Structures are given as structure tokens and as C-alpha cells.
Amino acid sequence: MSQDYRELAVWQKAVALGKSVRILTEEYRLEMSANVIVRALHEATAELPVCIIVGCTNRDAERLAQAIRIAYDHAHRIEYLLFLSLLWDYLPYGGLRPLMRTTRHIKALLAAHLQELRKGGC
């Protein structure tokens, strides 16, 4: 994961996820200021690509692993917030389904990067 972050599929998917979340919440006119779930979802989707960038700037394997774990935690949080949005009828299942699928894919990519690091002795 020490390459340019823009080349990483996980970063590209994280950015696309954030854009998709914003488009969907705007379609349903959900205001960030009035809805704590939407605000937390926007924050988490904004922080996820940043964690990936931080991971790419670290040359130390342990710090890289920590950045990947933090990014994974953000992705897990996004998945949970999407589930709550569905559970509390903030957003429709049809709109959330592709977002949940993308989030799971991001988690799988991050887990694969972490597994790669562990094989290297981290």
C-alpha cells in the first residue's frame, strides 16, 4: 500500500462511496444538521479516504498497519450507519444496497492489504 494512493482501488472506491452517500442523502433531502445518522455517515465517508492516504504516506509497516485498521474501522462504522439508515427508514433499501455492497468490498480490500502486511512480518 506504499504506492500512490490515487492508484489504489480501495481509495477510489472510498471516494466514490462518499460521493454516492452525499447524492443519495440529497435526493431524499436529508439535512446533515437535523439528522445525527446522516451527519455521522457524511463524516465517516469523508474520513475513510483520508485514512487510506495517511496509510500510503507511512513507510513504517506498523504505522501502515495501524492506518489500515483505522480505515477498516471507518468502513465498518459506515456499514453500521447505512444499516441504521435502513432500519429507521431514513433511506430506502434500493438506494442503500449498492452502498452496502461497496462498503463490504472496501472492507475486503483493506483486510487483504492488512493480511499482506502480516505475511511480511507486521
The pTM assigned to this predicted structure is 0.89
Q: Say which CATH number the domain at 46 has.
A: 1.20.1440.60
pLDDT at position 121 is 65
Number of domains in the chain: 1
Q: Determine the Cα–Cα distance for residues 61 and 53; give it in Å rounded to an integer.
A: 15
pLDDT tier at 55, thresholds 50, 70, 90: confident
- Exposure string for 64-93, b = 16+ CB within 10 A, e = fewer: bbbbbebbbbbbbbbbebbeebbeeebbee
Instruction: Judge whether residue 34 has pLDDT over 80.
Output: no
| Residue 90 clears pLDDT 80, i.e. is over it | yes
Which residue shows C-alpha cell 451527519? 39
What range defines the domain where residue 13 resides? 5-119
pLDDT value, residue 113: 92
Q: Which residues are within 8 A (CB) of 52 and not within 5 positions of it... i.e. 6 or more apart?
A: 1, 5, 8, 10, 11, 14, 67, 71
CB 51, CB 74: distance < 8 Å: yes
DSSP per position, 44-74: HHHHHHHHHHHHHH--SHHHHHHHHHHHHHH
